[in-house]
Amino acid sequence: MTSQPTSRTVRVFRYDPAEGGEGHFDAYTLDIPAPETTTILDVLLRLQREQDPSLSFRFACRVNMCGSCGMVINGREALACKTNVSHLPPAQDITIRPLNHFPVIKDLVVDMDPFFAKYEDALPFFEPADARDEPHAIRPDDKARIDIGMATDCIACGCCVSSCTMVNHHAGYAGPAALNRAFTLLADQRDGLFEARLTRALDSCYACRTEFNCTEVCPKQISGTRAIKYIQRLALKHLKSLRPLPSHPAEDRAVERAKNGTKGAVEDARTSAAAGAATACACGARHAAPAATPATAPAAATTCPPGGPEAACPSRRSFLTAAVGAGAVAVLGGILGTAAVAPTLARTPAQWVPVAPIKDIPEGDISTLPLGYTRRQAFHSEQVQTTVLVRHDAPGQVICFGNACPHLGCAVSWDPLSSRFKCACHGGAFDRDGNVIAGPPPRGLTRLPWKVEDGILKVEVV
């Protein structure tokens, strides 16, 4: 199905717990005259206010900061408050559904408890290695700080977990968000739970298949894949410090039942849960803590082996340790780790992207034009759909601004009535030159290098 340029068909997933079932999609028609400045959250609010008050969804900050409005928009995980209608192809309907791998509570609202349970299993809290009377000074150019980089900006929106196919196959898999948090603490020399945290995180790292789905959808441009590969490479340097987690009870029962020719561990695990078995892990079973866990760490909350409760065979980690040997693992893992992590540390190369024929851009005005391109880093690529603000004063006199506010990254638009650039989320305002004149932005709008080639205006992006 297709939609008209300003009249868009919006298909929203609906689920009512009182009715049950598998849910369905309702179609709405909405006139959107300014897609460049209309977010998907604006669309949902208008639908709720104008057409269907029963529509349920979450939102809070509206500035790409709280992570509440994570959902799947046209098949891709994103924040509703950060996704503009202009980011979506104009000839397609807008389809909105809840995040994958999460229990649906109602419509677009999902239960985040399993997400945070696995987050807690990864020991996400900071435990100081020693007591200090003075703050621990960390230089901005410290290597560990550079390695952590933007990974500390995670807002726990769940988009990465929704995009990860392995979450569906490994019940005990901590997921990219929890492992990214573990990575930021493992790279912090002040933390005192290194061995316990590395042991917990490594068991989940073996479930990753390096698909880069989490990296592609993260609204904060964090690479969960990079964090996972960093942990694996870090483990190779500290093999003697690791204490393998004991096998999961469901895994042991699966092996025993396989020997007896009976049904697998899934039914056995369900039976245990129905009988009221105590739970201390995201998988729903209690198992012993690793021997290396210090007294400061929770003793009962541990993670599953990489295969999860459904696994009926030894974990990949156990196989590598026993069959291949630590030496072979170190050599092979070092090669694979370097190959997987090193390219992601390189800066994304800049590229020239065509915007529009220069003759079609009105002179003496500021235009908001769509910009689409493929961004590549190492062996990962993603499609970027955004806008660029073009000020065309006269022939050969052009200024191109990025549309992201330097405060929180939300979209900036040109307001011809007040003759200023505005960020509606928090009151930021900029003059025609992109300088800050109101609000909290710390600096002016980003100016993009530009050139005219064969009559086409092009901008340089990273």
Q: Is the pLDDT of residue 215 over 50?
A: yes
Share of the chain above pLDDT 70, in %: 74
Three-state DSSP class for residue 213 = helix
Strand partners for 27:
11
- What pLDDT is stored for residue 239 in this prediction? 73
Separation CA 333–CA 337 (nearest Å):
6
Give the C-alpha separation, 83 to 408, whole Å: 14
Taking CA atoms, 124 is separated from 128, 135, 201, in Å, by 13, 21, 10
φ/ψ (deg, to 5) at 16: -115, 115
* Per-residue pLDDT tens digits for 194-211: 888 888 888 888 888 888
pTM strictly above 0.85: no
Residue 41 has pLDDT above 70, yes or no: yes
Q: Confidence class of residue 407 from pLDDT cuts 50, 70 and 90? A: confident
Highest mean pLDDT pick, 298-302, 309-313, 407-411: 407-411
CA–CA separation, 278 vs 284, rounded Å? 8
Q: Which segment of 129-133, 140-144, 318-322, 357-361 scores lowest on mean pLDDT?
A: 318-322
Query: For the residues 372-399, what does the mean pLDDT come to?
Result: 83
Give the least confident one: 20-34, 134-148, 193-207, 251-265: 251-265
Mean pLDDT value of segment 266-281: 41
In whole angstroms, what is the distance from residue 100 CA to residue 392 CA? 44
Is the pLDDT confidence value at 13 over 80? yes
Name the maximum alpha-carbon separation found in the chain.
Answer: 83
153-185 per-position pLDDT tens digit: 899 999 999 999 998 888 888 999 999 999 999
CA distances from 289 to 116, 196, 240, 281, 302 (A): 19, 9, 18, 11, 6
For residue 277, pLDDT over 60 is answered with no
Q: Where are the beta strands (DSSP E) in 131-290?
A: none
Q: How confident is the model at residue 348 (pLDDT cuts 50, 70, 90)?
A: low
pLDDT reading at 16 higher than 70: yes
The average pLDDT across 294-314 equals: 41
**Per-residue pLDDT tens for 356-381?**
999 999 999 999 998 888 887 655 67
Over the chain, what is the mean pLDDT? 79
- Average of per-residue pLDDT across 2-21: 85
